[in-house]
Structure 1
């Protein structure tokens, strides 16, 4: 293939249109995948989030159970002190000592009541959190099933198209190398600006491909002469004549068939 300095305008047009056909084919392959990769990523993030939530809830339950155990130990200690103080009351020498021990017993009884109240509240929290864990697990199972289904869809599409896409991307890079930087940059700029990614289009029924704007006959003649690069004044797309487009399409179809 000729080098960048040796190519004619026609060679440049053919190379640009070939590059467009390759890139459009890559676009088609990626469109088949559509939003699937993003859907899979979102589902993976959601599943991870649910797992993290379940882990946190389990940690919370462990903490609450620890607190319940601590309160039960406090109750046992308080009961032991009440028994101790009650025994001591039997051997007091005066009412002051008796009243002092009575206050200690009363304090420990209040400690028991408070601890029992806290245990009741903790148990209510456990029931609530267990309910949340159960619902979150159900949601996780449903999301994991959905993720598995979507990953299966994506894997099937990738298995069919990944080889072809890689081969086409390599071809795209090869064609980019024979196009001068100025034209290549213009091609990429137009391609990223237009919705369908078509930067090089043939003249169809007297208008720019994909456009309804008529191209004057004299300009059509200039395009067909392949002597200079001509752009559509409305869209900025680079224009090629129908005959060149048809020739290149046939040539590229053979290449596409080989890389499938």
Structure 2
């Protein structure tokens, strides 16, 4: 194709409209995917968060179980101490020693009661955590399954459209290279400012495509002459005549058919 400097206004209009047709086709492909990629990403984050929470809950459970073991071992130590002090009471020489050992026994018994109280509380905590783990595991499995389905759905769409999108993206870059920087910047600015991404539209029934505002006959003649770039005063879109549009659509359909 000709270099940018050699392009006539008509060639620029054709290149712009071709670029619009290619970019609109890419938009269609991405619309098919819709919010699915974001949905998959959100689900992945949610599943990762649930997995981390489950790991922490299980770690907490193990920690409590270890604490219960420690308390039980402590109870055994206290019972051994009670036995030792009780034996020692049999060989005391006076009431002071007997009373001192009695206080030691009482202290050990209090420690046992406290440990048993803590064990009871920790067992209740274990029961609660097991319930939470069961609920979290169920939610994790459900979300993981849902994620698997959504990933399969996305993979299926991607496998169907990836080749076409890659081809069209390359073609979009090729046509962008034909258009002077200022005009390309205007095209991209218009595309981002309109809802449907249409920066270049044809004249249909005396109005720009998708608009109800009639274009004056004199302006329509200027557009058809293809001597200068004309924009719609209402929408800001670049305008091309319907004959040029039909010719380029036919050309692009042949290109798309090769994919």
TM-score, normalised to structure 2, is 0.99
Report the alpha carbon displacement of residue 145 of structure 1 after superposing the two structures with TM: 1.3
Inter-partner Cα distance in structure 2 for 1:164 and 1:244: 25
Question: What do the CA deviations read for 1:146-185 (whole angstroms, capped 9, x no partner)?
Answer: 1111111111111110000000000000000010000000
Moved more, 40-49 or 245-254: 40-49
Distance 1:125 1:227 in 2: 82
Measured after TM superposition, the shift of residue 213 of structure 1 is: 1.2
User: Which residue number corresponds to residue 219 of structure 1?
Assistant: 219
Please list every run of at least 4 consecutive aligned residues from structure 1 whose deviation after the TM superposition is greater than 6 angstroms.
none
| 1:91-132 deviation line (CA, Å, top 9, x unaligned) | 111111111111111110000000000000111111111111
Q: Secondary structure at the match of 1:197?
A: coil
1:98 corresponds to which residue?
Answer: 98
Report the Cα distance in structure 1 between the residues aligned to 2:211 and 2:89, rounded to whole angstroms: 104
Alpha-carbon distance between aligned partners in 2 of 1:35 and 1:70, rounded to the nearest angstrom: 52
Partners in 1 of 2:75 and 2:214 — Cα distance?
93
Q: Which residue of 2 aligns with 1:243?
A: 243
Equivalent-residue separation in structure 1 for 2:227 and 2:95 (angstroms): 122
Give the alignment's Cα RMSD to 1 decimal: 0.7
* TM-score, normalised via structure 1 length: 0.98
Residue of structure 1 equivalent to 2:7:
7
Gaps of 5+ in 2: none
* Other-structure match for 1:35: 35
Equivalent position SS for 1:5: helix
1:193 corresponding residue in structure 2: 193
How far 1:258 moved relative to its partner? 0.6
Q: Distance in 2 between matches of 1:158 and 1:257?
A: 19
Distance 2:221 2:62 in 1: 82
